[in-house]
Every structure is written in structure tokens, then in C-alpha cells.
Structure 1
Amino acid sequence: MVDFDVVSLPETDHVAEGEQAPDFTRPLVNDEFWADASLSELTDEGPVCLVFYPMDGAFPATYIWNELRDRALEDHITVVGVSISTPYAHKRLIEERGMAYDLFSDPANGVAEAYGVANDLDGMAGISEPRPATFLIDEDRTVRYVWVAAEWPDFPPYDELEHEIRALVD
């Protein structure tokens, strides 16, 4: 029995395939430390799978990162997350989940707004978080694949995402 309501999310004007991915600089957290980094620094090294997800501790974050971890996508591409959680919360999530992925901390949700995937939280004036979304971005910061949640909760089509990653990098 599902103990939550599935809710349709409003339409969004998100960054689309073929468009330039907005660059940004935020604290990028790994299992040891964090430091400011930009998306363009990451794409200079190769394609990036940018994964937007709700705050650390929310059950969708657990499901998304467990699935991505189990698929070992880091063997093929740089995978990084973006959420409103603090660097401290990100370090806990990385440790608890045994993740090999780095996470951008974006407490003001500006990156999600730039990508068109900000989701206003019901009953919390002025509070938003990213809706689940994935953007596959090549070395020129051209978006090659996009998936954006249309309802809450919703999860990336992992098989399709993995196929698109392999098609881009193999």
C-alpha cells in the first residue's frame, strides 16, 4: 500500500535537448571535502550526467542514488547530483549510500531554476527544491538527453538513461 499521494507537477519550460546547458559554480562535495567547482570544469574533462533530485533524506534521493550506484555509471561518465541540501548533508548521504558520485550544493535552488526544474513545495511559501531530472551534457555543454519528472514522486528511466550514456561515450 502506497502511503503517499502521486501528484501531477505543472508543465515546465526546462532546458531541452540540443540547447546549451547553463554553466554554474557551486560547492561540489565528495567523500573527503568540498570546493567550489563549475559545470564547465567538469565538461572540460568529458561528458557529464547532471542529476537533479530532492533534498538529501527525502526517499526519492535514496532510491535515485541507490539505483545509480548499483549501475556503476561512473565507469562510463562523470555523474554529479544537484540538490538544495548543504555540503554537510551531502557528505552524510555520500557516506551512508557508499556513493562514488560528487554532489553540488545549491541551497537557494538557483541551478534548478536556471534549468527549469525548480519545484515549489506545497504549503511552504518561498521554498522550492529541484524536481527529479537528468541532463546528459557533452564536452561542448550541449544537452544530448533530458528526462524531467512529470509527477511526484517520479524516477528517471534508468535503462533509457544508461543506454543514452553508453551511446554517447562508447
Structure 2
Amino acid sequence: MPDFDVVALPETDHVEDGDVAPDFTRPLVGTEYWEDRALSEVVDGPTLLVFHPMDGAFQTTYVYNEIDDRDWVADVDVLGVSISSPYEHKDLLAARGDGVRAFSDPSAAVVREYGVDHDIDAMAGITESRPAVFLLDGDRTVRYAWVASEHPEFPEYDAVDAAISELVDR
């Protein structure tokens, strides 16, 4: 039995399979530097957009460890999105997420636009991302979507693997 409560998250109207992923411009952080980039500028093939809680949260660590263990960056461009600052993303990417870049969304505007936001209990006014993954093709059409319905919850990694394989093998 976990030593924490599992909390059901409210239903959300999130981006779905078949939707075109909304475009946005935010600082995109790599291991060397960051710069403002639009999603539409960086998606030029299969892309896995991974929304995650703040850097340093145990869920984020687990998700990035899976990204590394499954070597998703060998098949798709992996882009993280969270409310963490570019400085926090640089620290995260120095420790894990080899080959991943991450968008910084401190206002949570992108998180809200994708419908994956939730307010953190006992932290008034702080909105972060629930875990979510969106597999995009080169036209930003969502080919696979998964969004957490409870906290904590993790992506169905084998299903993500299968969706990536299906998209890149076309």
C-alpha cells in the first residue's frame, strides 16, 4: 500500500487523437542553451510531447527514467513541457533525458491550452501539468494521446512504445 493518497483528478477537455496539436512559443531548453521556439518550428517528424509535473517531482524522475530506458529519442524527437524554469530544465536534462529538450511554461498557459492542468493541493495559485503524452506526426496531428486521470499516475509505457512503432514504421 502506498504511503501517499491516490487522488482522482477532475475530468478535463484535453487534446485528443486526430486533433492538430496547438502551436505555442516558449523557451526550449537543451543541454547547451535555450531559446524561444515555436512548436511548429521544431516538429518536422514524429515527436513525443511529454507533459510532466515540476522538475524534481518523483513522477517527473520516473517518466524521464523510462524515456532513457526505452531510448525513445532513437525513434522520435522527445520534447518535455512543464511549468519549471529553464534553469530547472537544464538541471533535469543534465541528470536524465538524454537527447530530450524541454519547453518551459511557468505561466501554465500551454498546460491549460492542452487541457492537462491541475491545481496543486495546499499550494494556492499554483497550477502544474498532470502527466500526459501526445505523439505527433510531422504535421502536428496527434496520433496517440494519454492523460493522467489520477495523481500519481504514469503513462502506459508499452502503449506509447506501440504507438511510436506504428508511427515510425509507416
TM range (shorter): over 0.9
- Provide the rounded CA distance (Å) in 2 between the counterparts of 1:50 and 1:98: 13
C-alpha displacement of 1:124: 2.1
Q: Output the TM-score relative to the length of structure 1.
A: 0.96
Q: CA deviation at 1:96?
A: 1.6
Amino acid corresponding to residue 13 of structure 2 in structure 1: D
Query: Are the counterparts in 2 of residues 42 and 48 from structure 1 also a CA contact under 8 Å?
Result: no
Q: Distance in 2 between matches of 1:123 and 1:59?
A: 18
Do the aligned residues in 1 keep the contact of 2:48 with 2:133 (CA within 8 Å)? yes
Q: CA RMSD in A?
A: 1.0
Following superposition, the deviation at residue 97 of structure 1 comes to: 1.9
Look up the equivalent residue of 2:15 and give its one-letter code.
Answer: V
8 A Cα contact 1:8 1:150, kept in partner:
yes
Alpha-carbon distance in structure 2 between the residues aligned to 1:2 and 1:124 = 22
- Report the residue type matching 1:3 in the other structure: D
- Runs of 4+, deviation exceeding 4 Å: none
Q: Which amino acid aligns with 1:28?
A: L
Shift of 1:140: 1.4
Give the alignment of 1:5-84 within 5 angstroms: 5-43=5-43, 45-84=44-83
Deviation at 1:142, TM superposition (A): 1.1
Listed as ranges, the gaps of 5+ residues in structure 1 are none
Bigger shift: residues 137-146 or 51-60: 137-146
Cross-structure match for 1:150: 149
Matched residue, 1:4: 4
The verdict on how the C-alpha distance between 1:46 and 1:98 changes in structure 2, with shifts beyond 3 A counting, is: closer
1:53, distance to aligned residue in structure 2 (A) = 0.2
CA distance in structure 2 between the partners assigned to 1:9 and 1:50 by the alignment: 21
The equivalences for 1:111-126 within 5 A come to 111-126=110-125
- What CA distance in whole angstroms lies between the structure 1 residues aligned with 2:127 and 2:114? 14
> % of aligned pairs identical?
59
Which string of whole-angstrom CA distances, capped at 9 and with x for unpartnered residues, describes residues 84-112 of structure 1? 00000010111122622001000011111
Answer whether contact 2:51 2:81 (CA < 8 A) is retained: yes
**Shift in Å at residue 37 of structure 1?**
1.0
Give the match for residue 131 of structure 1.
Answer: 130
Consecutive unaligned residues in structure 2, runs of 5 or more: none
Deviation per CA, 1:116-158: give whole Å up to 9, x if none: 0011111222210000000011111111110000110000011
Deviation at 1:38, TM superposition (A): 1.2
Contact 1:15 1:115 in 2 (8 A): yes
